[in-house]
Amino acid sequence: MRIGLFATCLGDTLFPEAVKSTAVLLARLGHDVVFPPDQTCCGQMHVNTGYQREPVPLVRRFAEQFGDASIDAVVMPSGSCAGCVRHQHEIVAERYGDASLRAGVATVKAKTYELSEFLVDVLGVSQVGAYFPHRVTYHPTCHSLRMLRVGDKPLKLLRAVEGIDLVELPEADSCCGFGGTFAVKNAETSTAMLQDKMRNIATTEAAVCTAGDSSCLMHIAGGLSRIRSGTRTLHLAQILGSTRIAPYALTEAAR
């Protein structure tokens, strides 16, 4: 399959390791990974903060970069960006776009996936040959859970990882408090939510808290770092990308 990789603006700039793992993993599974070079951002931050005119060029760019018929699927290591492409690009195109943009949006929407749903639903694999001998807890990010309905697909993938000690996160379904600009506009409420999430993470005694969104992890990691917690965060793709031959070195990576 020819897969168009969308790095997401945040992944490309601040969390390249998660994107590298995604690219390598898909190639290792025998797929042709292409990176349309003019890709930038899905525009989620704009739409969710209340701006729908401004992201029109971003929505158009996304449709142009990934609309090519030679690309069978568009995959990204982010539930919220996939949610934006699938549910919000249409809203922007309907309101401020033209017929060609609406058509382009519909084309990419139909083939856009978050990593775990692509692996499990489209490729039909849950065993990706990963090796990760550490105690891990999984936080299902809100947009993966409720916008994309990924359900237990990430857990299916994690359970199949060799050597992993997967522990359930109490109150896993509650939001970590990130919410994009919510964490800035309502910083104190966001912090209160983060504190409860960190308390739940602490009870698992996991070495790693993983999730399918770098943005939520950035917020959780920021909190864990501030309280000097022993737990660190790692994107789901990085755990799935860790193998016996090239295992992810947890100690080296921990700052």
Partner 1 sequence: MSTFLGMPAAPPRSPYGTGNLRGDRKFPKAAHDELRNEQLRRNLGRATRTIRTKRLGVTGELPDWEQLRDAGSAIKTDTMNRLPELLEQLEQKVTEHGGTVHWARDGAEANEIVARLIRATGSSDVIKVKSMATQEIGLNEHLESIGITPYETDLAELIVQLADDKPSHILVPAIHRNRDEIRQIFLDEIPGVDPDLDNVPAHLAAAARVHLREKFMTTKVAVSGANFGIAETGTLSVVESEGNGRMCLTLPDTLITVMGIEKVLPRYQDLEVFLQLLPRSSTGERMNPYTSMWTGVTPGDGPQDFHLVLLDNGRTAALADTIGREALNCIRCSACLNVCPVYERTGGHAYGSTYPGPIGAVLTPQLAGMDAAKDDPNSSLPYASSLCGACFDACPVKIDIPSMLVELRHQHTEQSGTTAEKLAMKAAAGVMKRPKLFTAAQKGAALGRIAGGPSGTISHLPAPLSGWSDSRDTAAPPKQTFRAWLASAEGAATMSAAAEEGARRTADDHKEDR
Rounded CA separation 124/32 (Å)? 17
Q: 113-142: which residues touch partner 1 (CB under 8 A)?
A: 142
Q: 65-104: which residues touch partner 1 (CB under 8 A)?
A: 87-88, 91
Site for partner 1 (CB under 8 A): which residue of 2, 67, 167, 187? 187
What would the two tokens of residue 125 be?
A: 């694999």
Rounded CA separation 236/115 (Å)? 9
**How many residues of this chain interact with partner 1, rule: CB under 8 A?**
78
Is 194 near partner 1 (CB under 8 A)?
yes
What would the two tokens of residue 238 be?
A: 């990085």
Q: 199-228: which residues touch partner 1 (CB under 8 A)?
A: 218-219, 221-223, 225-226
What would the two tokens of residue 75 be?
A: 């995959």
What would the two tokens of residue 149 be?
A: 């309905």
Which range in 102-110, 160-168, 185-193, 204-212 contacts partner 1 by CB under 8 A? 185-193
Place of tokens 């990010």: 141
Site for partner 1 (CB under 8 A): which residue of 72, 106, 151, 182? 182
What would the two tokens of residue 40 be?
A: 């930038």
- Residue 68: which of 27, 97, 37 has the closest Cα? 37
String marking each residue 6-45 x if it binds partner 1 according to CB under 8 A: -x-x-xxxxxxx-xx--xxx-xxxxxxx-x-xxxxx-x-x
Min CB(42)–partner 1 separation in Å = 9
